[in-house]
Structure 1
Amino acid sequence: MGHNDPVEILSSDLTLDEALAAAVEFAREAVATEVGADRVGGHLEVAMEDDRLATHLFDCTSPGYRGWRWAVTLARTPEALEPTVCDVVLLPGPDALVAPAWVPWSERVQPGDLGVGDVFPTGAQDPRLVAGFTDEDDLEGAGSQSPLSPGTWELGLGRARVLSQIGRDDAADRWYAGDMGPDSAMAKNAPHTCLTCGFLMPMGGAFGQMFAVCANVMAPADGRVVALDYGCGAHSEVQVDEVPADEVLADDLLPEGEGADAHLPGGDPVSESDAATSGAEEPALDAGVLDALALDDDLVEDAIEDLDGTVPVDAVEGLILDDAGEQDEPSANDEPTDLIDSVAAVAPKRPRGRGWLRGRST
């Protein structure tokens, strides 16, 4: 009873000892003495483990130990009927919550667990490795070996150990059954195998008979060992039918005729005389420009008085118009708003609009 595994009732041909089986309260008192009567539940069963050796099981009522059982082992001599307590332990039952079975550290580490700075020592008797040729003396007699011997495939100069036959077989089986083997979903849906791919880099030695290295950057196996009967959609000989591109058409058709005689769509032909006349028309002046041109000297002087001397008189007098009629007629390229902006710059800040100017002039 020195284990910590779930209790299993032993099935044997041992005859139940009546004296030991009847000592239920005696066994309960033994548990109560150790942990207290409040932690001992009902009697579950009794089982014979040997001649005159029985174990009583009681339910454990301690919080956090649901499904655990108190096990009390009793024994007696052939002449005595009074039992003796051999052991009192707490054992997990079939429904008890227990920790996983202990696994050695060397067996807990899985592929992919090794990180930066971690080390994983290899055992001295690892069956995947064998001693390599490390000295010239070891090469004596190597030439007499058979050409098919694994020793001639890889001498391992400078390495204390090299792959053994077990290590080679283990690696080959793992790679062939992995994601880069023929049974993967990618390989089963590939149009061709790697054996006929131009991106295949052969491997030397015995592994070259089954594996190679992929060198296609677009392939999922780029830089990895692949089986020769593996395949993917990035095979070098995959060809697809090219879809011809439609010819680009430009609408460069001109109306009938050329130059000024061209007919416009939905209209009459434009004559040269009409084009010259339309181009010579002068743009109409805005009403605001005409009002500004009609300002007299008194209006400008009144604006100067309203400024209370904050603007030099010379800056405003330069804007006085002697006679609106003497001004040159504005051409089509003149900006009619320049004069309005100039007058607005020296005029007092009043509500915008031309009404107040006309009111002052009248």
Structure 2
Amino acid sequence: MTATPTQQSDPVHADPVLVDAGAVSLARAAAQEEAGSEPVGDHVGVLAEDEVSVTHLFEAERAGYRGWNWAVTVANAGPGTPVSVSEVVLLPGQDALVAPDWVPWHERVRAGDLGVGDLLPPREDDPRLAPGYVGSDDPAVEEVALEVGLGRVHVLSREGVLDAAARWQAGDFGPRSDMARSAPATCGTCGFYQRVAGSLGAAFGVCANELTPADGHVVHVEYGCGAHSEVEVENISAVPVADVVYDDAILDVEANAVDPAPESGQ
């Protein structure tokens, strides 16, 4: 059946016997048999499939299927032949509640979804990976692989390297983050900055300062924070001291009163 309830029209090219009261009753009985004990609602439309078949639509009064219709296709072999039921299905109407389009699991997974004990294999033909024997386009990786005589099954492809670099640069520890914009200097001149190996080392390293939010994270060479190894803060008293200056020109001077001399004998 190719028609849907959203394509309702008068089946003017179909055999009239397929749309008369007898055909509607036959279709309703078929829908009721499929629905079981649940009632079948009103007849709400007819869809023309071709000259020898039409689909009758009935409201589906089934829990959880609001806006759906029972679609019953009836057909015959031509004028003068009996009408029979070809198919009975539930189809969504224009206002039906339907499930969202299915998305493959590897497209639904997002950063941070992986939990303890979860397994997350890479998708087949992941463009971020290349077979180890092909090479990684990273001289440091190639050097190590040749040195030990073995290589990993997969290594980062050039696309994988560029993808990681773009993601890290745009992240919380990139040069455009709020922390980096207010920092006194960049990570590239910080003693806590540990450059990563390989081609990514030209722009990225790992922060080794436990007092910063970036500790243990990959940071861009132009990222920075207030805990830079060369930051100096002027040591001043935490308690403000006011300077007091007296001007003799505006001071009022009064002579001390002299006590009268004591009388003799006292």
TM-score, normalization: structure 1? 0.52
Q: Is the 8 A contact 1:180 1:221 kept in 2?
A: yes
Provide the rounded CA distance (Å) in 1 between the counterparts of 2:182 and 2:70: 60
Q: Is the 8 A contact 1:68 1:91 kept in 2?
A: yes
- The letter for the 1-side match of 2:202 is Q
Partner of 2:139: 152
Partner of 2:66: 66
Q: Deviations over 1:137-160 (max 9, x none)?
A: x9xxx9xxxxxx925342152322
Partner of 1:209: 202
Q: Is the 8 A contact 1:10 1:48 kept in 2?
A: no
Q: Does 2:14 correspond to 1:17? A: yes
More strand by share: 2
- Once the two structures are TM-superposed, the CA of residue 244 in structure 1 deviates from its matched residue by 2.4
Provide the rounded CA distance (Å) in 2 between the counterparts of 1:188 and 1:52: 73
Partner of 2:229: 236
Alpha-carbon distance change, 201 to 58 in structure 1, aligned in 2, over 3 angstroms? same
Paired residues for 1:95-174 under 5 Å: 95-122=95-122, 125-133=125-133, 150=137, 152-155=139-142, 157=145, 158=150, 159-174=152-167
What secondary structure is seen at the aligned counterpart in 2 of 1:88?
strand
- The letter for the 1-side match of 2:193 is L
Provide the rounded CA distance (Å) in 1 between the counterparts of 2:46 and 2:122: 49
Paired residues for 1:197-276 under 5 Å: 197-245=190-238
Superposition RMSD on alpha carbons, in Å?
3.6
Alpha-carbon distance change, 154 to 15 in structure 1, aligned in 2, over 3 angstroms? farther
- Once the two structures are TM-superposed, the CA of residue 71 in structure 1 deviates from its matched residue by 1.0
- The letter for the 2-side match of 1:171 is A
- Once the two structures are TM-superposed, the CA of residue 171 in structure 1 deviates from its matched residue by 1.6
| Structure having greater relative contact order (Cα 8 Å, sep ≥ 6) | 2
Alpha-carbon distance change, 71 to 187 in structure 1, aligned in 2, over 3 angstroms? farther
What secondary structure is seen at the aligned counterpart in 2 of 1:150?
coil
Q: Is the 8 A contact 1:194 1:229 kept in 2?
A: yes
Contiguous gaps of at least 5 residues in structure 2:
242-266
Provide the rounded CA distance (Å) in 1 between the counterparts of 2:192 and 2:42: 74
Name which one, 1 or 2, has greater alpha-carbon Rg.
1
What secondary structure is seen at the aligned counterpart in 1 of 2:44?
strand
Alpha-carbon distance change, 116 to 58 in structure 1, aligned in 2, over 3 angstroms? same
